Amino acid sequence: MDLVNHLEGRLLFAVPKKGRLLQAALNLLEGADIQFRRENRLDIALVKNLPIALVFLPAADIPTFVGEGRVDLGITGYDQVQEHDAGVRAVASARRQSGEWKHGEKAKPQGCDTVMELGFGACKLQVQVPVKGEYATGKDLIGKNIGTSFVHLAQEYFARLELEQEGLVDADASQLADRKLKTKIIELSGSVEAACALGVADGIVDLVESGETMKAAGLMAIDTVVDSSAILIKSKAPSNPEMVELIAARIGGVITAQKYVLCQYNVERTRLADATKITPGKRAPTVTSLEDEGWVAVSAMVEKKRIATVMDDLTTVGATDIIVLDIHNTRGSRA
């Protein structure tokens, strides 16, 4: 089947094609009942039950496709969005300095909007140096060689440090982009953590999840450039805004369901106020009178991570018949 000819009228949704975000993204789509089958070696999959096509792209490319309006929605890391935005600023700076940017010229609306955080893929983009080295702060690396795949964020980070060293604090984005660096940024596409050991760089700027890879390479973090996790982003001019809202509502429901459980219990009406302080719910608990006079049944959403303590506290105030139910999906509530 020629998939390209079947894309017309479909909202395009970019998903990481591999890497640390892929499986969690697929689980999220499954929970949102976005049904598709991805054929072997194909990076486009038509959704069966909605007018959507999934486009599998490198996570680093997704902000570009969404930002330029080629794709309507995307799942990627916040770090990748920040790197893309820093790259846009760098290009604009280069155009200004070359005179290519004409006075009064209006740029096409570009960039993407964050719809929501997705609750997975947490990591940090950090400045790292050899444990047994001489560098203790980011400023110690000014004028040195820095290896990274996040070239634009690294450039802005060291531009800020260099300007601060010269007495200019709180530099704006254009000043950072226009700065001619003393520090040399070396672009690396993989195995960045090996750059110091191989003598390519004095320090690196790279993602850290557990920190195990960093420690194994004999490195330590001395500063954080960006705290990151997976986010849902959308184009500033999506082809089908209503469908974007529908998908966002479905995904938001899945995320809420992952965070909460439904706690139900019975309690004497005289102790209801104490019990509902423990289980206020997301908006308010549901309270129903029981045939046993003076008793009520209460139902409320509770954060999963708190449920054991909540059950202990409910028991203390006299609640009985406490049960906890998993929530598979929800709608109409904010995560």
pLDDT in tens, the chain (335 residues): 555 667 888 999 999 999 889 999 999 999 999 999 888 778 999 999 999 999 999 999 999 999 999 999 999 999 999 999 988 888 877 777 776 655 555 555 567 899 999 999 999 999 999 999 999 999 999 999 999 999 999 999 999 999 999 888 787 877 787 788 999 999 998 889 999 999 999 999 999 999 999 999 999 999 999 999 999 999 999 999 999 999 999 999 999 999 999 999 999 999 999 999 999 998 899 999 999 999 999 999 999 999 999 999 999 999 999 999 999 888 875 54
The amino acid sitting at 240 is: N
Q: Give the pLDDT confidence of 304-322 residue by residue, as tens digits.
A: 999 999 999 999 999 999 9
For 307, the token pair is: 């449920």
Choosing among 3.30.70.120, 3.20.20.120, 2.60.120.260, 1.10.1740.10, the CATH entry for 260-326 is 3.30.70.120
**Domain range list for the chain:** 3-120+230-255, 123-227, 260-326
pLDDT in tens, 258-307: 999 999 999 999 999 999 999 999 889 999 999 999 999 999 999 999 99
**CA pair distance 104, 96, nearest whole angstrom:** 12
CATH architecture for the domain at 123-227: 3-Layer(aba) Sandwich (3.40)
CA separation for the pair 126, 27 (Å, rounded): 28
The CB density around residue 137, as the number of other CB atoms within 10 Å, is: 12
Round to whole Å and give the CA distance between 253 and 330.
5
**Domains 3-120+230-255 and 260-326 in one fold:** no
In the CATH scheme, what is the code of domain 3-120+230-255? 3.40.190.10
